[in-house]
C-alpha cells in the first residue's frame, strides 16, 4: 500500500502539495476491490479507501472491519474529498470541533464562512423548535438558485437530523435513552439542559447540512446493521414497532452526495450531508463519499 | 351524484399530520399539491393510514410533488396496489442558471404506463432545461 501522497500527489497544485505533503505521507490508500487481500492485514485508522463501489454492491463491509473513509474515485470532486478525508483521518477531533474547513478542503474557516454569509447555525433543545428552524433554513437555502433547487431534500435532511438529536441521541450515564420511546408528535426536550446544533454552509460547489449533539451515543454495530437492512434493496420497509420509522438514514444517504457520521463516544455525534450544487439528479445518482467514524 | 371523494393534503406530512377517516364506497382522490415537506415519521403515518385501503377500494394520487415521489419510491407500501398515480411533478434543472422548475405530467396526456413525455421548458435566460431526476424516480410507474 502506498501513501495518499505517493499515489495521488499529482492531483493537487504544487502549492497545495507543498503544504500538505507531510500529512498526506502519513495516510495510506487502500484501493477497493483491488487491494481486498489487504483488508484484514492493515490497521484501518489513517487509511482512506478509494473505490468505485457503493452501498448496494459491497462497501458496508469496509466500515465493519474498521475503515472510516470511503472515497469514490469516479467523482469529479475525488481529489478534494481525498484531501479532506486524509485530514479527517489524521485529525478527527479537529473535524468534530470545527467541521466546516474539512467540508471545504481546508481552505475556508468557519469564521470566513460566517463572515461571508455562507453559514447558518442554530442551537435547539426541543422538537417543538423544529418547524421554525426548518423555515429559517429554507430562507437561507434561497440565497442562490443552485441551493434553492435542492431546498426540499436539504430541509428533509435537516428535519431527520433534528428528530434524531432530540429523540434518539440523548443518553443518560447508565446507558438509558430517555426520549427514544416518546411519541414523535409531542414537544420533547433534550434532557439536562443540553442542546444540539443544526448548521448549514455552502461553497461554490456544494451545500452542507449538519447536526451535532452532545451525547456521542450512536453505536457502530447497530448503525451498520441498520445500514445493511435499509440498503439491502432500493425500497426499504417502515419500522412499524416503536416510535421511529427507521428511514431517516436512508433518506439522508440516497438524497445526498456525501455523508459524514462521526462519533466521539460519550461526548459528541456529528452527522452531516453534502449536496452538490448541480441539481437533484447529480446527488441522487452520485456514488457516495462516505465517512463513518466511531472513535 | 358525487363521483369520488377528494382529500386535499397540505402543509408538512409529518408526525403531526391528521389523516381523515374516509368511506371507501367511492373512489378516493388524494391531492398532494400543497404538501410542502415530508419526513420519515410522516411516511410511517402515511403507510399506516394508506394500508387500510384494501381492494376493492380505488385510490388516485394527484399532483404529487417531487419530494413525495422521491420518498415514496424509497419506501415499501407508500403506493399500495389499490392506488394509481394520475399526475405528478417532474423537476427540471438549468445548469447555466441553477434554476429549477417542477412540471406537472398527467396520465393519458403526458404518460401512460412507463413512458413519460415531459413538456419542454426554458429557464429565465431562454436555455432549455433538463429533466433532473435519477432513473429511480420513475420506479413507481413500474409497479
Say whether B133 and A234 touch across the interface (CB within 8 A). no
Task: Tell me which chain A residues have a C-beta less than 8 angstroms from the C-beta of B93.
Answer: 149, 278-281
pLDDT tens by residue, B25-66: 899 999 999 999 999 999 999 999 999 999 999 999 999 999
Q: How far apart are CA B74 and CA A72, in angstroms?
A: 23
Domain count, chain B: 1
Q: How far apart are CA A234 and CA A254, in angstroms?
A: 9
Mean pLDDT, range A209-220, rounded to an integer: 97
pLDDT in the model for residue B28: 97
Q: How far apart are CA A181 and CA A160, in angstroms?
A: 16
Residue with cell string 414537544: A187
Cβ neighbours around B98 below 10 Å, total? 18
Q: How far apart are CA B76 and CA B89, in angstroms?
A: 20
Size of interface A-B (CB pairs under 8 A): 114
Q: How far apart are CA B47 and CA B73, in angstroms?
A: 13
Say whether A159 and B14 touch across the interface (CB within 8 A). yes
**In contact, B76 and B48? CB cutoff 8 Å:** no
**Which one has a higher pLDDT value, A70 or A1?**
A70
Using CA coordinates, name the residue in chain A closest to B71: A251
pLDDT tens by residue, A87-142: 999 988 888 888 887 887 544 555 666 667 789 999 999 999 999 999 999 999 99
pLDDT tens by residue, A144-198: 999 999 999 999 999 999 999 999 999 998 999 999 999 999 999 999 999 999 9
Helix and strand element counts for chain A (H, E): 13, 9
CATH number of the CATH domain containing A50: 3.30.565.10
Task: Tell me which chain A residues have a C-beta less than 8 angstroms from the C-beta of B135.
Answer: 285
Domain span at residue A13? Answer: 4-294
Domain count, chain A: 1
Say whether B77 and A237 touch across the interface (CB within 8 A). yes
- Give, for all 143 residues of chain B, the pLDDT tens digit: 889 999 999 999 999 999 999 988 899 999 999 999 999 999 999 999 999 999 999 999 999 999 999 999 999 999 999 999 999 999 999 999 999 999 999 999 999 877 899 999 999 999 999 999 999 999 999 76
Mutate to test the interface with B, among A181, A234, A238, A254 (most CBs of B within 10 A): A238
**In contact, A196 and A124? CB cutoff 8 Å:** yes
**In contact, B7 and B31? CB cutoff 8 Å:** yes
pLDDT in the model for residue A106: 46
Sheet with strand A289-294: strands edge to edge: A28-32, A47-51, A69-72, A289-294, A258-264, A268-276, A206-213, A196-202, A119-124
Pull the grid cell for residue B49: 393510514
CB proximity under 8 Å: A 193-252 to B: 234-240, 244-248, 250-251
Domain span at residue B73? Answer: 5-142
Amino acid at each position: 500500500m502506498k501513501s495518499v501522497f505517493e499515489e495521488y500527489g499529482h492531483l493537487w497544485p504544487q502549492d497545495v502539495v507543498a503544504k500538505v505533503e507531510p500529512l498526506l505521507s502519513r495516510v495510506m490508500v487502500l484501493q477497493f476491490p483491488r487491494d481486498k487481500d489487504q483488508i484484514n492485514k492493515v490497521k484501518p485508522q489513517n487509511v482512506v479507501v478509494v473505490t468505485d463501489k457503493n452501498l448496494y454492491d459491497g462497501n458496508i463491509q469496509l466500515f465493519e472491519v474498521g475503515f472510516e473513509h470511503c472515497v469514490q474515485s469516479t467523482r469529479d470532486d475525488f481529489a478534494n474529498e481525498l484531501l479532506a478525508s486524509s485530514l479527517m483521518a489524521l485529525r478527527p477531533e479537529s473535524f468534530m470541533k470545527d467541521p466546516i474547513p474539512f467540508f471545504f478542503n481546508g481552505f475556508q474557516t468557519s469564521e470566513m464562512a460566517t463572515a461571508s454569509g455562507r453559514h447558518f447555525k442554530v442551537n435547539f433543545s426541543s422538537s417543538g423548535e423544529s418547524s421554525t428552524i426548518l423555515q429559517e433554513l429554507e430562507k437561507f437555502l434561497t440565497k442562490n438558485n443552485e441551493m434553492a433547487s435542492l431546498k426540499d431534500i436539504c430541509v428533509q435532511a435537516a428535519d431527520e437530523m433534528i428528530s434524531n438529536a432530540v429523540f434518539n441521541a440523548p443518553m443518560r450515564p447508565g446507558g438509558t435513552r430517555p426520549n427514544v420511546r416518546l411519541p414523535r408528535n409531542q414537544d420533547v426536550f433534550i434532557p439536562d439542559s443540553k442542546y444540539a446544533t443544526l448548521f448549514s454552509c455552502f461553497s461554490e460547489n456544494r451545500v452542507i447540512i449538519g447536526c451535532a449533539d452532545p451525547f456521542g451515543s450512536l453505536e457502530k454495530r447497530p448503525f451498520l446493521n441498520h445500514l445493511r437492512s435499509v440498503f439491502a434493496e432500493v425500497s426499504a420497509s417502515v419500522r412499524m414497532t416503536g416510535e421511529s420509522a427507521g428511514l431517516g438514514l436512508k433518506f439522508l444517504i440516497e438524497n445526498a452526495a456525501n455523508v459524514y457520521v462521526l462519533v466521539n463516544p460519550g461526548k459528541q455525534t456529528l452527522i452531516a450531508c453534502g449536496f452538490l450544487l448541480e441539481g437533484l439528479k447529480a446527488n441522487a445518482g452520485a456514488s457516495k463519499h462516505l465517512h463513518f467514524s466511531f472513535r | 351524484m358525487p363521483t369520488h371523494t377528494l382529500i386535499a393534503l397540505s402543509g408538512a406530512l409529518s408526525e403531526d399530520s391528521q389523516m381523515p377517516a374516509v368511506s371507501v364506497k367511492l373512489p378516493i382522490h388524494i391531492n398532494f399539491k400543497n404538501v410542502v415537506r415530508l419526513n420519515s415519521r410522516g411516511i410511517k403515518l402515511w403507510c399506516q393510514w394508506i394500508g387500510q385501503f384494501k381492494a376493492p377500494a380505488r385510490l388516485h394520487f394527484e399532483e404529487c410533488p417531487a419530494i413525495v415521489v422521491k420518498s415514496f419510491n424509497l419506501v415499501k407500501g407508500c403506493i399500495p396496489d389499490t392506488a394509481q398515480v394520475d399526475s405528478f411533478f417532474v423537476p427540471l434543472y438549468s445548469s447555466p442558471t441553477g434554476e429549477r422548475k417542477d412540471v406537472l405530467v398527467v396520465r393519458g396526456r403526458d404518460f401512460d404506463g412507463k413512458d413519460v413525455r415531459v413538456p419542454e421548458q426554458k429557464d429565465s435566460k431562454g436555455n432549455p432545461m433538463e429533466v433532473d431526476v435519477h432513473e429511480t424516480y420513475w420506479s413507481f410507474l413500474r409497479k
